[in-house]
Chains A and B, each alone.
Chain A
């Protein structure tokens, strides 16, 4: 790669940095072809309640960022929260990933903007009128090349002891994101077993002939390995070999079953089940 686009990008970053200093991204090695913003679904915080914040990571056209399991290369986006006393952050609610391919190597992630939503719980006692929540976000963004980026983000929200109102500026984005999140399966809608180093996921209430399973743990199964789908009535089973990197003993399996990867957007279901002995 020539150094010229990088120099141009640095110049662009300097200019863009003056315009929106809080949200422009910094690459570890110069400009990152992605930016990140910290958004809130609601416009205030109520003591003792959980609110939803979201880190919106937007790669430049043609670039992508990664899911919790990045696939055969890459790195997932990470959020490190700096919360006021008494606040607690939950896990990232990862949107359904896409599979992409570079030179025969497969990745899982997002080819467009991805809102990574995280529930944040406020303490019951809040004396201040407003709080500032900070997040250090780091990501890897790749096209032909990969460039790590990071941003220190913050958001200021007023504390009000009333039911928070949805922030109209972010309403559409949050709604769309939440509607498209993998739907958590109930305990009786999923089961997982492992036999002869083969993982079988059973969905007893759904016929999904075009399903694909992606594990949250990147070492569990090899992305792109053969998945055998068997549908009998309303029961779908997905069988896939464990990867050579899978641990000797697997006790819990988490991931997503994408109903049909060709759908736009694809429906997906979140698997989280203990492995049946």
Chain B
């Protein structure tokens, strides 16, 4: 795809509108609004629907195991520990891979079964979004890119995994983990301190 520039020229004033360079397919979601529903296949080939998890906290984690920013959190098991900690509290954790077939991070269903075991992932499910529809609907731009849906179905967090934009695992201990912070705050009936942050990482390989 090339970047499109559309200009509208008039004789007196020149009004140029640079058309949105981001494809319109990135719908994005708003905090406080009901998170849009979706159906995706998990690594076992079974269809999983967001509506299966009504009345539960749902974490969406965009993942590409070859991305250095994902490795930052998977290498020292930071992501897996978060998955374990919160799924034990009844949170549904969906790791979504939107890498297109042939692109970095893409794995088949059986590939994901093996990778999830190897990486000791504790997600509720790994979901395959090969055509990128769900990723683009949520506006997932990076791996990782995190979203949290409250039990009432509304989005309460979207953004980065934590506060230090780096590929180094050694930065994790001094960073604020925004996902943990948001879940802990909301579960305690408090306001989410940082409900929206700019995600950092590799681009999603649509």
Contact = CB atoms under 8 A, between A and B. Distances in A.
B7 A226 contact: no
B188 interface: no
A79 to B, nearest CB: 15
Interface stretch (A9-17, A104-112, A177-185, A195-203): A104-112
B13 A231 contact: yes
A75 B14 contact: no
Contacts of A228: 15-17
Contacts of B112: none
B21 A99 contact: yes
A1 B66 contact: yes
Interface in B139-170: 141-142, 159, 165-168
A75 B166 contact: yes
B57 interface: no
Interface string A213-257: 000001100111111111110000000000111000000000000
Contact of B104 (A75, A144, A148): A144
B94 interface: no
Contacts of B201: 73
Contacts of B167: 28, 75, 140, 148
Interface stretch (B22-30, B43-51, B120-128): B22-30
B138 interface: no
Interface stretch (B77-85, B174-182, B192-200): B192-200
Given A104-B1, A230-B15, A145 B66 contact: yes
Interface residues of A, number: 45
Name the interface size band of chain B. 35 or more
B96 interface: no
A218 B14 contact: no
B103 interface: yes
B18 A146 contact: no
Given A75-B166, A210-B7, A230-B14, A224 B103 contact: no
Given A1-B66, A72-B141, A104-B26, A224 B16 contact: no
A142 interface: yes
25 contacts: A28-B167, A103-B100, A103-B205, A104-B25, A105-B141, A107-B203, A142-B203, A145-B66, A145-B67, A209-B16, A210-B7, A212-B18, A222-B22, A224-B3, A224-B20, A226-B17, A226-B20, A227-B18, A229-B14, A229-B15, A229-B18, A231-B15, A232-B13, A245-B198, A261-B5
Interface of B: 1-3, 5, 7, 9, 12-23, 25-26, 66-69, 71, 100, 103-104, 136, 141-142, 159, 165-168, 196-206
